[in-house]
Amino acid sequence: MKRIFYFNITYGCNSNCIFCYSHNTLHNSDPHNEMSVEQFFRYLNDKGLSAHDRVIVNGGEPLMHTDIEKIFSGLIPYGCEVLVYTNGRLLTNYNLSGLNRNFRFIIPIHGYEEIHDSITRVRGSYKETLEGLEYLVNQTGCLADVKLILNNKMISEDPYGEKTLQAFDQQIIFNHAIHLTKMADTIVSSKNGCRTITNDDASRFMRIFFDYFSQRHVKIKIFDTCIKSMEWLKSCSLEVYEDSLTVYFKDKNQYRVMELTRKLMDCMTDCFLADRCISAVDEYKALEFFENKIYENLE
């Protein structure tokens, strides 16, 4: 059995994304509702954390945690996989040179510079994120993933993805995988009048970006988006992730075992690829494409 320990270690964030997934987050550049280092490791030790497990460190913005370096260094001896979901803007503030390839940082990109900054609502956030990625790749031993989140602003202002792909050609660097997904409807996005893109647009852009990255032999993780433009998926052999999953959620005030059940969306009823449509939000899985093989894997 694969165990995943998912932590929201703080609910403060230095960005103010128009579709933020966490409506409990305060966007004022201060730590908020922060879990202590002692509480973090006491929970993991009580659960008997092992090298086979995965720890997810999230927020808010986890790098705003007062003792984030203690959390990272304290996880090294366990030998487990550590995923850090961060906007990447604060990475250059820390000495992460002691981290190894068990640590993987997943950093969102929302399009080219102008689109990215308008989504985060922080001018200069794109440049800070790119500086963080460059630091991870060139000065640490850990892995860096980019999560490309499709959104309506990208569709309307870069309708063929050309400017976004040019940014990847010239500016954006990473050393492990590209995540292809789309913006989800959230409490925050509803409040801001910002809706997710249609399946037709998601499918069209998925094909554009999939073709681009597959031709460059990049590992691709696909989830929470529409894959119907990839007709060949129906006939190809799909390796299924067979290990059972248990996901534990913990923040300062609560913990729970998460129920991994996905709602059947209306569009799946008559879709010929419904059995290969995967949600990382509800199932903690993704379709992964690498070296001409497609298989189920974890995000």
Set out the domains of the chain in order of their start, with CATH numbers: 2-298 (3.20.20.70)
pLDDT digits (tens, 9 = 90+) for 5-30: 999 999 999 999 999 888 777 777 66
Say how far apart CA 134 and CA 139 lie, in whole Å: 8
Tokens 């954390």 sit on residue = 49
Tokens 């689109």 sit on residue = 115
Q: 157: how many CB neighbours lie within 10 A of its CB?
A: 14
pLDDT above 90 for 32? no
Q: Is 288 exposed, middle or buried (0-12, 13-18, 19+ CB in 10 A)?
A: buried
pLDDT above 90 for 167? yes
Alpha helices in the chain (DSSP H): 37-46, 68-75, 113-120, 125-139, 152-157, 162-170, 187-191, 199-215, 280-283
Say how far apart CA 70 and CA 286 lie, in whole Å: 30
| Burial state string for 26-40 with b = 16 or more CB within 10 A and e = fewer than 16 | bbeeebbbbbebeeb
- Distance spanning both ends of the chain, measured CA to CA: 16
What's residue 37's pLDDT?
Answer: 98
Phi-psi region of 79 (alpha: psi -120 to 50; beta: other; left: phi over 0): left
264 falls in which pLDDT band (50, 70, 90)? Answer: confident
Say how far apart CA 91 and CA 129 lie, in whole Å: 8
